[in-house]
A and B are shown apart, each in its own frame.
Chain A
Amino acid sequence: MSPCTPTELSIAALARHVRGLRHVAVGNASPIPAAAALLARELSGGAMTVAILGSQRHNPYTDGGRELFDCAGQGRLDAFFLGGGEIDGQANVNLVAVGDRQAPQARFPGSFGSAYLYFVVPKVILFREEHSRRVLVPRVSFISAPGTSDQGIHRTGGPVALVTGRCVFAFDRARARFRLDSIHPGRDLAEIRAETGFEFDVADDVATTELPAQAELALIRDRIAGEIAETYPRFAARTWQCAA
């Protein structure tokens, strides 16, 4: 088998964060998190319910667009993946715009479900492949969803980790700070510091991000790739030369 690619490493790293959960949902423009959720479901022997926005096959809901959010509000959704045009050191996420509100320098698609799900889903895993100072900023210029909330605000969920193309951070909600937990093979701390716009802690025992086991890699390529092609045909073709 050919070696694990950076995309497959991200899939495996994200899947580890949702292992053993009952109900995991994936939102807009998230092929890598979708693959991770499907991998975790395979490893669960089918015990996990996975909802992929835009998929017909992986849509467990029958009550329309609201059902995911209603589930989440009740605590029935265990984990969700979220990206960000900008993410800052307090895990605030910007999916709206950079610069002046009336005439922004950059306009992103919008906040999707973030401003709600970030509050009520116990494990939100942030994922952004691009790990640069453009994305990982000291302070987001627009808060789509705040990383933490004041005491007294109903908040049963929030960020637990940030996975990038270079490393994995854990998020400490009490301190509102990221801690570098593992570095992807071939990357190093100096590079991560140079490319990260916010301050972060470094775990005493910072590890190398674990590669997927051969069996996991085989699952990704043999099963997951074809399933992802239903919702993300371009991604599947680009990553695995695979069609739906």
Chain B
Amino acid sequence: MTDWIDIDALATRIPDGARLAIPADYGGVAMAATRALIRRHASGLRLVTVPTSGLQADLLIGAGAAAEIETAGVTLGEHGLAPRFTAAAKAGKIAIRDATCPAIHAGLQAAEKGIPFMPLRGLIGSDLLAARPEWHIIDNPFAGGSLETGDDPIVLLPAIRPDLALFHARWADRAGNVWIGRRRELATMAHAAVTSLVTVEARFDGDLLADEATAAGTLPALYVGAVALAERGAWPLGLPGVYPADDDELARYAATARTEAGFADYIAGTPRRAA
């Protein structure tokens, strides 16, 4: 049975140093929980962005909560470069494991199948591959090594098994089943991680698995360690189909967080919950 707990209790379930999978800005980001993590002075987190991040990673890096990030990209989108990520990268203050979107998806897919690696096309000849000693090239064992096909080299990526996945969704029911709609990468993250912590807009009155229409978009409680209620919990990011991003707030962040002092002011002045 999944626990329903409050958001600060949820943040304490993410230990310092945890390998933490987080979704892209468009996919249901647990921003209220991120603020709770910063309030509890989390540190040493090893972020895995699925497959990219923006405000969430920038906040965690700026607040000194993250030691490492495996990512295909960190950006504030229309609001420009992610300022604290960029500053930390230039100062060498964060370990960046540069990836490409499908490499992160594939690594998680390996983990959800319980297999050690997944092959992926592309990558050969890129400096991403050169910088990742744990990525290996093998010859496709099914190619036959004919003159026409050569040996068909292909890259193998190790499984990515996060300690925790953290995300925000629209509903969870009493049992802890979580409705994710078509944001299936949240399911992939949750399957791959040891367990998941989820914040939701509202408690669903009923059983999400009882109706095929809701069951199709539901992550079963089996993968969910705890759920916390957080109305407007993705703010200032949006939640697809529920509310859009708060563009003015994102602009305020992008302008304020350009400097370390501005970032500190932003953190000190941000309310616990969405306005």
> Which residue of A63, A65, A117, A152 is within 8 Å of B151 (Cβ)?
A152
Cβ A116 vs Cβ B103 within 8 A? yes
Q: Which of B25, B99, B105, B151 contacts A66 (CB 8 A)?
A: B105
A143: interface (CB < 8 Å): yes
Whether the Cβ atoms of A113 and B126 lie closer than 8 Å is: no
- Determine the chain B residues whose CB is within 8 A of the CB of A112 once the complex forms: 51-52, 72-73, 100-101
State A110–B72 Cα separation when bound (angstroms).
5
Chain B 99-138 interface mask (CB, 8 Å, partner A; 1/0): 1111101100100000000001111111111010000000
| Given the contacts A56-B240, A64-B184, A116 and B91 also touching, CB distance less than 8 Å | no
Given contacts A115-B122, A152-B150, whether A66 and B241 have CB atoms under 8 Å apart is: no
Could you tell me if A62 and B72 are in contact, using CB atoms closer than 8 angstroms?
A: no
Known: A116-B121, A154-B121. A28 touches B127 (CB 8 A): no
What's the Cα separation between A67 and B149 when bound, in Å? 27
Cβ–Cβ contact A28 & B153, under 8 A: no
Cα-based distance from A225 to B54 in the complex (angstroms): 25
Q: Is A153 an interface residue (CB 8 A)?
A: yes
Nearest residue, chain B, Cβ from A120: B121
Report whether B154 and A154 are in contact in the complex, using a CB–CB cutoff of 8 Å. Answer: yes
- Give the number of residue pairs across the A-B interface with Cβ within 8 Å: 158
Indicate if A73 sits at the interface (CB-CB under 8 A): yes
**How far does the Cβ of B27 sit from chain A's closest Cβ, in whole Å?**
7
Q: How many residues of B are counted as interface, with CB atoms below 8 angstroms from the partner's CB atoms?
A: 59
Nearest-CB residue, chain B, relative to A156: B121
The answer to whether B75 and A109 touch across the interface, beta carbons within 8 angstroms, is: yes
Q: Is B50 an interface residue (CB 8 A)?
A: yes
Is B121 a contact of A96 with CB atoms below 8 Å? Answer: no
CA distance A63 to B98 in the complex (A): 24
Convert A93-115 into 0s and 1s, putting 1 for each residue whose CB lies closer than 8 angstroms to a CB of B: 00111000111111111111111
Chain A, Cβ-Cβ closest to B104: A65
B228, chain A: closest CB distance, angstroms: 23
Chain B residues in 8 Å Cβ range of A56 = 240-241
Verify A115–B100 contact, CB threshold 8 A. yes
Highest count of chain A CB atoms <10 Å: which of B24, B98, B122, B131? B122
Q: Known A-B contacts: A109-B74, A112-B100. Give 19 more (CB < 8 A).
A: A28-B77, A64-B183, A69-B102, A96-B127, A103-B91, A109-B52, A110-B71, A110-B99, A111-B73, A112-B72, A113-B102, A115-B123, A115-B128, A116-B120, A119-B122, A143-B127, A145-B126, A146-B125, A152-B151
Which residues of A are at the interface with B, using a C-beta cutoff of 8 A?
A: 28-29, 31, 53-54, 56, 61-67, 69, 73, 95-97, 101-120, 142-146, 149-154, 232-235
- 28 A-B residue pairs with Cβ-Cβ distance under 8 Å, sorted by A, are A28-B52, A29-B75, A63-B184, A64-B184, A64-B186, A65-B51, A65-B188, A73-B121, A109-B52, A109-B81, A110-B71, A110-B73, A110-B74, A111-B98, A112-B51, A113-B72, A113-B101, A115-B100, A116-B123, A117-B122, A120-B121, A142-B127, A144-B128, A150-B125, A151-B150, A152-B149, A154-B154, A235-B78
Q: Lowest 6 CB-CB distances: which A-B pairs, in order? A: A64-B184, A152-B150, A110-B73, A116-B122, A69-B102, A64-B185
